[in-house]
Structure 1
Amino acid sequence: MRLLLLWILNAVALLAVAWLLPGIVLAGFGSALLAALGLGFINTLVRPVLTLLTLPITLLTLGIFYLVLNGLLFWLAGALLPGFHVQGFGAALLGALLYGVIAWLLSALIPNSKG
């Protein structure tokens, strides 16, 4: 149940990002759900491989390249998923940062069932 709620909250976070940034376009809540699911898959499957491959440059830039990697993956999701469009790398970088902050804040509202 928690996973389903997190998925919906991530979709809401994407809608908020699309509302706040003019360079990010979502066709509606259904597209936001699909984009949240797609971002979850990209972050689960692609991010670890790219993080490992770009570890030397990430270390040289003291971790700043990891932000670039987040933006690139957000941009990739916008290119692959229907109803979700990211207009340029700048919008992708800002969108990824804003999406991460909003999704983190929303997920903090859910009580943890451990205990």
Structure 2
Amino acid sequence: MQFLLRVVVGAASLAVATWIVDGIDITSDKFSTQVLTLLIVSAIFGFLNVFLKPIIKIFGCAFYVVTLGLFAFVVNGCLLWLTSWVADQWNLPFHVDGFWPAVWGALIVGIVSWGLNLFVRDER
């Protein structure tokens, strides 16, 4: 249940990012397809964060220290860009146009999901 709640929060965050950031688009006109796409892309983004981010943190530890943590924005942007590539491979109508839209989108996703997670009860 907690996983599904996190996916919904991520989908809402991605929806805000598609609304605010030029270069992040859902290319479907049907509302139901857009919602399903956001849910699937949120799950993909979550899985990539769970599996790749720790590896990136280990190998990029020096960059995190030197940039006082600002390198995390670049990493999150690249993971969102990778999510777009995976969505394209699965023929999902979600696309990120480049590096800077990915970085800004990841920043928006991070802020919105942080805000929404304030209202989500954590069972831990």
1:2 equivalent to 2:11? Answer no
TM-score calculated relative to the size of structure 2: 0.84
Q: Which residue number in structure 2 is paired with residue 56 of structure 1?
A: 62
Question: Distance between the aligned counterparts of 1:63 and 1:2, measured in 2?
Answer: 28
Q: Which residue number in structure 2 is paired with residue 109 of structure 1?
A: 119
Question: Distance between the aligned counterparts of 1:70 and 1:10, measured in 2?
Answer: 13
- Aligned counterpart in structure 1 of residue 97 of structure 2, from 87, 90, 93: 87
Q: Which residue number in structure 2 is paired with residue 78 of structure 1?
A: 84
Q: Is the 8 A contact 2:24 2:96 kept in 1?
A: yes
Q: Secondary structure at the residue paired with 2:95? A: strand
Identical columns (%): 31
| Unpaired stretches in structure 1, ≥5 consecutive residues | none
Per-residue CA deviations over 1:37-85 (Å, capped at 9, x if unaligned) read 0001000001110111111122122222121111111111111112221
TM-score calculated relative to the size of structure 1: 0.90
| Unpaired stretches in structure 2, ≥5 consecutive residues | 29-33
Higher RCO (CA < 8 A, seq sep 6+)? 2
Q: Secondary structure at the residue paired with 2:121? A: coil
RMSD: 1.5
Question: Distance between the aligned counterparts of 1:43 and 1:93, measured in 2?
Answer: 15
Question: How many aligned residue pairs are there?
Answer: 114
